[in-house]
Structure 1
């Protein structure tokens, strides 16, 4: 614990002009006398700590003293800080924050970040990600209720192995004790997540997640063609940016979107219906029929009694 505190103090002094003993004592939950002794140890180790007197006095590193930057270039450091900062904001991990602070000592000085990453978590509860990460690190079995793609509710027991972020959503992958096989679960559909005291053994061989191989399902991909009115271009492009696009003379756009089993893709139906009259499905004709039926069912909900 003392060694970790000494290392942390060194990096804090490298990242700040002056830090008072009282500030350091409060942060590390020790007495100011302990901080004084820590500073003496740091000085004895060869670090050029300077003491500043006065109301705004404290401790800092000698001007011009920096850690060796030869290990990583500024681009590498910036990239690492960006990724770690996004993870730190999601998981509230103090160890990650400490790593960021250490990296900043070898990064470029007085330079604003050129990149930021927002790993959105608004679709899930604020405590779910940290809880799952704890379960993965400690190898705790988790239990939860889940709503699958067929809108069925089940209760699961799982040995979580990996968290991953794709298609603007968080997923957890691991061994489902209920189904006795490896499964992937979407965090936004998980409820009542509970970390049990049951510990599972490390997994030596883990099969790849479903969908990792494009060749496994590419023969079931079908093009969906939609016409987008000029007033809905921005909204539709936000959803289907990588689609093949063609502007029409009247200012509208025709999009061709490859979709896996579009006649079963309820997520696609919801997106297309959200555009209202701004987008019309041209192909496949069966999808037009599905959307027509969905609209009829919705209108029936709002029929005056």
Structure 2
């Protein structure tokens, strides 16, 4: 514990320059007396910590002091290795960079941690590609060259020209002002404006991209979380949205993660009663049909009738002739 605290103390001084014993004690959640003892220990170990007296005094490191700090404990190293196994970085084309970073982290670990952390990481699996029913999770595939160009324009604050294929349409070129990138369940999105209007583009539908030299017309600061919530709310309120009252087997609740659930309660029979918003009528019929006998549409009536007719047509097709 003390070794971790000493490393944290040095990192705080490197980050903030000069700090009082009181401020250090507050950050490290120890007493000022403990901080003073730690300062003495660092000095004895050759770390150039010096004290500045006076009203604005405190402790600081000598200018230009650098050191390789391998103060990661086992759990911290393991957390980084597990994070490196997640596939979410692929959405922004950072998978290769993340793998490289993980190699550097492993190389920087003390020898005593390296083998045990790597072994432990092999015994933890996060978000496998398939679930227990062997259903493969859908992950957007975006060419690295495309997402790299989008990412550069976002970070540089430049306009972006994209060859974008909207659903059911041929790709078209359009110039946008990129604001930020968002990933939701491993699907990446570009938040942008076009002619001053908010636009959201799915990265997997961008066929090609080109960063332009002109500066993007966008605010200097942005709250991406708030922007995403606002756009999601507008999307759910669109004219084509369909709201369905659904009775659902709780074992299939996970299959509705990609839709907006407005209300949810458990009935006396143990099944869930959900009010769900789908993108459009076609989406609603397709999604509920996948649930088979594990779901019952309570309203609207036209969806009940559509599913009934579909089931009847399938039953007729599968009926074996008595002759």
The answer for unaligned runs of 5 or more in structure 1 is 1-66
| Other-structure match for 2:210 | 195
Contact 2:162/2:206 (CA < 8 Å) preserved in 1?
A: no
The secondary structure found in structure 1 opposite 2:141 is: coil
Change (3 A) 1:117 1:130: farther
Contact 1:273/1:291 (CA < 8 Å) preserved in 2?
A: yes
| Other-structure match for 1:272 | 288
C-alpha deviation, 1:157, in angstroms: 1.9
Please give the alpha-carbon distance, in whole angstroms, between the structure 1 residues aligned to 2:175 and 2:220: 20
Change (3 A) 1:193 1:256: farther
- Measured against aligned partners, the alpha-carbon deviations of 1:119-150 in whole angstroms (never above 9, x if no partner) come to 977433433434432332343513122325xx
Work out whether 1:144 is the aligned partner of 2:144.
Answer: no
- RMSD of equivalent CA atoms: 4.4
| Other-structure match for 1:240 | 256
C-alpha deviation, 1:99, in angstroms: 2.6
| Other-structure match for 1:103 | 105
The answer for unaligned runs of 5 or more in structure 2 is 1-67, 130-136, 318-323
Please give the alpha-carbon distance, in whole angstroms, between the structure 2 residues aligned to 1:170 and 1:186: 6
Work out whether 1:116 is the aligned partner of 2:126.
Answer: yes
Q: TM-score, normalised by structure 1?
A: 0.52
Contact 1:162/1:174 (CA < 8 Å) preserved in 2?
A: yes
Please give the alpha-carbon distance, in whole angstroms, between the structure 1 residues aligned to 2:105 and 2:268: 47
| 1:224 aligned to which of 237, 240, 245 | 245
Contact 2:265/2:272 (CA < 8 Å) preserved in 1?
A: yes
| Other-structure match for 2:57 | none
Work out whether 1:182 is the aligned partner of 2:198.
Answer: yes
The secondary structure found in structure 2 opposite 1:211 is: helix
- Measured against aligned partners, the alpha-carbon deviations of 1:242-270 in whole angstroms (never above 9, x if no partner) come to 9645584xxxx63223423x484643432
Change (3 A) 1:76 1:199: farther
The secondary structure found in structure 2 opposite 1:147 is: coil
Please give the alpha-carbon distance, in whole angstroms, between the structure 1 residues aligned to 2:150 and 2:275: 33
Q: TM-score, normalised by structure 2?
A: 0.50
| Other-structure match for 1:288 | 304
- What is the number of residues matched between the two proteins? 217
Contact 1:85/1:100 (CA < 8 Å) preserved in 2?
A: no
